[in-house]
Amino acid sequence: MAPRLTADDRLQRLITKCRERVDEAQPPPQALSHTPDSKLGSLAREAGYERLSALFSEKLGEALREAGVGTHPDLTDPMNTRDTRIHFYDLEHPLPGTQQTRLLLQIELEMSGFLERNFAARVCRMDRRHTQMGSRRMVSGPAG
């Protein structure tokens, strides 16, 4: 029977695996869609954790940074859930144009205004389309 791995051994094995996945992506990716990724819940399970916690996220993030691996979004982002997809990249080759999610919309009011303007415009366009389509009736006669 193989000896059980300690929590530190499992975490180190995960870090090594992530580093190898980043190294396999040659040439360095220019977009998030080309980077290796995993769900945060899968990472926690591989590291031997049953639940996500701020301590786990900090510990994993620090260990990945020490190995030269960056993540997007940041592992300590409070919006992360078990289903959040974490992208890995080489810190020596940062991805152009990415910024942390908490910096994207600084104020919730700004976001709610954006949603209201865009959602209301889309609903209005859809209503017009349905109204126009409803007034057009297709008449089919006998084939002949």
Quote the pLDDT of residue 137: 47
Shared domain check, 90 and 64: yes
Do residues 128 and 74 make contact, with C-beta atoms less than 8 angstroms apart? no
Shared domain check, 50 and 108: no
The verdict on residue 104 lying in a domain is: yes
Residue ranges of E strands in 32-116: 37-39, 69-72, 85-90
Shared domain check, 81 and 27: yes
Nearest to 60 by CA among 78, 40, 80: 40
Shared domain check, 69 and 124: no
Quote the pLDDT of residue 112: 72
If one counts the domains in the chain, the total is 2
The verdict on residue 115 lying in a domain is: yes
> What domain range includes position 128?
99-134
Shared domain check, 89 and 74: yes
Does residue 104 surpass a pLDDT of 90? no
Shared domain check, 63 and 89: yes
Q: Which residue has the higher pLDDT, 137 or 5?
A: 5
Does residue 130 surpass a pLDDT of 60? no
Shared domain check, 89 and 37: yes
Region 33-48: mean pLDDT is 93
Give this prediction's pTM.
0.66
Do residues 75 and 52 make contact, with C-beta atoms less than 8 angstroms apart? no
Does residue 84 surpass a pLDDT of 60? yes
Under 8 Å CB-to-CB from 90, ≥6 apart: which residues?
Answer: 22, 23, 28, 68, 69, 70
The verdict on residue 62 lying in a domain is: yes
Region 70-93: mean pLDDT is 91
Ranges 4-8, 60-64, 77-81, 96-100, most confident:
60-64
The verdict on residue 143 lying in a domain is: no
Write the pLDDT tens digit of every residue in 89-101: 999 988 877 666 6
Shared domain check, 76 and 21: yes
